[in-house]
Amino acid sequence: MGTEKPKADLLPGTLDMLVLKILMRGHLHGYAIAQLIQQLSDDLLRVEEGSLYPALQRLELNGWIDGEWGLSANNRRARFYKLTTDGRKHLAEASARYRQVTGAVARIMGFA
Amino acid sequence: MRAALSWKRLRRRLRYWLNHSERQRLLMEEMEFHVESMAKELVAQGMSETDARSAAHRKFGNMTQKSEEARSTWVARWISDLAQDLRHSFRGMRRDYGFAAFAVIIAGLGIGASSTVFSIVNALLLRPLPLRDPGRLVSISNIDDFTAMQTEYFSDLRELNQSFSDLAGWSAFYRPGDNQLTGAGEPERLTSVPVTGNFFTLLGVQPTIGRSFTAEECQARYSAPPAMLLSYSFWRRRFDSDPNVVGRKLTLNNHPVTIVGVLPASFDFASIFAPGISIDIFIPWPLNDKTKPSGNTMKVVGRLKPGATIQAARAEFSMLGEQLRTRHPERNGLEPHLMPLAQRVSGRVAPALFVLASAVGVVMLIVCANLSNLQLARLAGRQKELAMRAALGAGRSRLLRQMLTESVALSFCGAVLGLVLAIAGTRELVHLHAFNLPLLESVRVDGNALAFTVLAAVGSGVLFGLLPALRVSALSLCEELQDASRGSSGSKRHAWVRDSLVVSELAFACILLVGAGLLIRSFLRVLDVNLGFQPERAAALRIDPSFRIRSSAEQNAFIDDIQRRARSVHGILAAGITDVLPLRDDRGWAVAARGQVYEKGHQPEAFIRVVSDGYFEAAGISLRAGRDFTERDRSSSERVVVVNETMARTLWPGQDPLGQMITTDGGRRVVGVVADTRHESLEMAGGLEMYLPMRQTADYAAMQLVVRTALPPDSLAAELRTALRPVDPNLPVREFQTFQDLVDRAVSPRRFLVLLLTGFAAFALILASLGIYAVISFSVSQRVQEFGIRMALGASASELQRRIVLRTLGLAALGLALGMAGSRVLSSALASLLFGITTGDPLTFIEVGTLLVAVAAVAGYIPAWKASRIDPMVALRSS
Of the residues B51, B75, B99, the one at which a domain ends: B75
In sequence order, what are the beta bridge partners of A68?
A80
Specify the amino acid at residue B101: A
Q: Do B9 and A61 touch (CB under 8 A)?
A: yes
- Nearest alpha carbon to residue B104 among B555, B498, B439, B408: B408
Interface test with A, best of B13, B23, B32, B33 (most A CBs within 10 A): B33
Tell me the C-alpha to C-alpha distance, in Å, between residue B374 and each of A35, B377, B783.
55, 5, 18
Task: Compare all CA atoms of chain A with the CA of B32 and give the residue at the minimum distance.
Answer: A78
pLDDT at residue B19 tops 80: no
Residues B279 and B170 reside in one and the same domain: yes
pLDDT tens by residue, B187-227? 777 888 889 989 999 999 999 999 989 888 888 887 788 99
Residue B90: how many other CB atoms lie within 10 Å: 14
Q: What is the largest CA-CA distance in chain A?
A: 51
Contact B63, B35 (CB under 8 A): yes
Q: Report the pLDDT value the prediction gives residue A26, as an integer from 0 to 100.
A: 87
CA distance B34 to chain A (A): 5
Task: Compare all CA atoms of chain B with the CA of A71 and give the residue at the minimum distance.
Answer: B33
Lowest mean pLDDT across B485-489, B498-502, B526-530, B581-585:
B485-489
Interface test with B, best of A53, A85, A93 (most B CBs within 10 A): A53
Contact B117, B356 (CB under 8 A): yes
* Contacts with A50 from chain B: Cβ below 8 Å: 61, 66, 69
Residue B294: how many other CB atoms lie within 10 Å: 12
The stretches of chain A forming alpha helices (DSSP H) are: 6-9, 14-23, 30-40, 49-61, 85-109
Interface test with B, best of A57, A60, A68, A72 (most B CBs within 10 A): A57
Burial class (CB in 10 A: 0-12, 13-18, 19+), A10: middle
> Average of pLDDT values for B797-826?
88
Q: SS3 of B470, please?
A: helix
Specify the amino acid at residue B525: R
Q: Report the pLDDT value the prediction gives residue B584, as an integer from 0 to 100.
A: 79
> Average of pLDDT values for B494-517?
87
Q: How many domains does chain B have?
A: 4
Q: Do B74 and A61 touch (CB under 8 A)?
A: yes
Give a yes or no: residue B43 inside a domain.
yes
CA distance B82 to chain A (A): 21
* Contacts with B30 from chain A: Cβ below 8 Å: 29-30, 53, 78-79
Residues B709 and B782 reside in one and the same domain: no
What one-character DSSP code corresponds to residue B593?
A: B
* Chain A 40-99, residues with CB within 8 Å of chain B CB atoms: 49-50, 53-54, 56-58, 61-63, 69, 72, 74, 76-79, 86
CA distance B60 to chain A (A): 6
Q: In chain A, where are the structural domains located?
A: 2-109
Of the residues B306, B329, B348, the one at which a domain ends: B348
Residues B243 and B325 reside in one and the same domain: yes
What is the C-alpha to C-alpha distance for residues B669 and B605, in angstroms, rounded to an integer?
17
> Average of pLDDT values for B229-248?
89
pLDDT at residue B260 tops 90: yes
Task: Compare all CA atoms of chain A with the CA of B17 and give the residue at the minimum distance.
Answer: A61
Q: SS3 of B698, please?
A: coil
> Average of pLDDT values for B443-457?
87
Q: Report the pLDDT value the prediction gives residue A75, as an integer from 0 to 100.
A: 80
Q: Do B71 and A57 touch (CB under 8 A)?
A: yes
Residues B717 and B705 reside in one and the same domain: yes
pLDDT at residue B842 tops 50: yes
Q: Which residue in the set A30, A57, A69 is minimally distant from B34, CB to CB?
A: A30
Task: Compare all CA atoms of chain A with the CA of B10 and give the residue at the minimum distance.
Answer: A61
pLDDT tens by residue, B632-649? 898 889 999 999 999 999
Task: Compare all CA atoms of chain A with the CA of B66 and give the residue at the minimum distance.
Answer: A50
Contact B785, B878 (CB under 8 A): yes
> How do strand B640-644 and strand B538-542 relate by DSSP bridges?
unpaired
Give a yes or no: residue B115 inside a domain.
no
What is the C-alpha to C-alpha distance for residues B373 and B772, in angstroms, rounded to an integer?
10
* Contacts with B29 from chain A: Cβ below 8 Å: 77
Q: Do A53 and B30 touch (CB under 8 A)?
A: yes
Residues 6+ apart with CB under 8 A from B102: B374
pLDDT at residue A82 tops 80: yes
Give a yes or no: residue B100 inside a domain.
no
The stretches of B392-438 forming alpha helices (DSSP H) are: 396-430
ipTM of this complex: 0.80
Residues B579 and B669 reside in one and the same domain: yes
What is the C-alpha to C-alpha distance for residues B743 and B753, in angstroms, rounded to an integer?
16
pTM exceeds cut of 0.80: no
- Nearest alpha carbon to residue B809 among B494, B506, B497: B506
Specify the amino acid at residue A26: G
Give a yes or no: residue B539 inside a domain.
no
CA distance B393 to chain A (A): 15
Task: Compare all CA atoms of chain A with the CA of B69 and give the residue at the minimum distance.
Answer: A54
Q: Report the pLDDT value the prediction gives residue B487, as an integer from 0 to 100.
A: 43
For a pLDDT cut of 90, what percent of chain B falls above it? 25
Residues B522 and B589 reside in one and the same domain: no
Query: Phi/psi of residue B241, each to 5°?
Result: 55, 35
> Over chain B, what is the mean pLDDT?
83
What one-character DSSP code corresponds to residue B870?
A: -
pLDDT grade for B612, boundaries at 50, 70 and 90: very high
Specify the amino acid at residue B445: V
Residues B278 and B384 reside in one and the same domain: no
Range of the domain at B520: 349-528+745-877
pLDDT grade for B488, boundaries at 50, 70 and 90: very low
pLDDT at residue A7 tops 50: no
Residues B278 and B160 reside in one and the same domain: yes
Q: SS3 of B195, please?
A: strand
Q: Do A58 and B13 touch (CB under 8 A)?
A: no
Of the residues B348, B374, B396, the one at which a domain ends: B348
How many helices (H) and strands (E) are present in chain B, helices listed first?
27, 23
- Nearest alpha carbon to residue B643 among B618, B617, B611, B666: B611
CATH of A2-109, one of 3.20.20.150, 3.20.20.140, 1.10.150.110, 1.10.10.10: 1.10.10.10
Q: Please provide the size of chain A in residues.
A: 112
pLDDT at residue B184 tops 50: yes
What is the C-alpha to C-alpha distance for residues B520 and B753, in angstroms, rounded to an integer?
9
Q: Report the pLDDT value the prediction gives residue B114, as an integer from 0 to 100.
A: 92
Residues B320 and B436 reside in one and the same domain: no
Residues B708 and B767 reside in one and the same domain: no
Tell me the C-alpha to C-alpha distance, in Å, between residue B431 and each of B24, B174, B273.
57, 24, 18
What is the C-alpha to C-alpha distance for residues B140 and B334, in angstroms, rounded to an integer?
11
In sequence order, what are the beta bridge partners of B301?
B139, B168
Residues B157 and B246 reside in one and the same domain: yes
Residues B712 and B752 reside in one and the same domain: no
> Which string of DSSP letters, residue by residue, matches B7-37?
HHHHHHHHHHHHTHHHHHHHHHHHHHHHHHH
Give a yes or no: residue B270 inside a domain.
yes
Give a yes or no: residue B85 inside a domain.
no
pLDDT grade for B575, boundaries at 50, 70 and 90: very high
What is the C-alpha to C-alpha distance for residues B734 and B721, in angstroms, rounded to an integer?
9
CA distance A92 to chain B (A): 17
Query: Phi/psi of residue B184, each to 5°?
Result: -125, 100
Q: Report the pLDDT value the prediction gives residue B507, as an integer from 0 to 100.
A: 93
Q: Report the pLDDT value the prediction gives residue B447, as an integer from 0 to 100.
A: 86
pLDDT tens by residue, B331-371? 888 889 899 998 888 877 888 888 889 999 999 999 998 88
- Nearest alpha carbon to residue B205 among B135, B280, B264: B264
Give a yes or no: residue B107 inside a domain.
no
- Nearest alpha carbon to residue B494 among B580, B377, B587, B386: B377
* Contacts with A31 from chain B: Cβ below 8 Å: 33-34, 37-38
For a pLDDT cut of 70, what percent of chain B falls above it? 90
* Contacts with A62 from chain B: Cβ below 8 Å: 5, 9
Residue B580: how many other CB atoms lie within 10 Å: 20
pLDDT at residue B569 tops 80: yes
Q: Report the pLDDT value the prediction gives residue B796, as an integer from 0 to 100.
A: 79
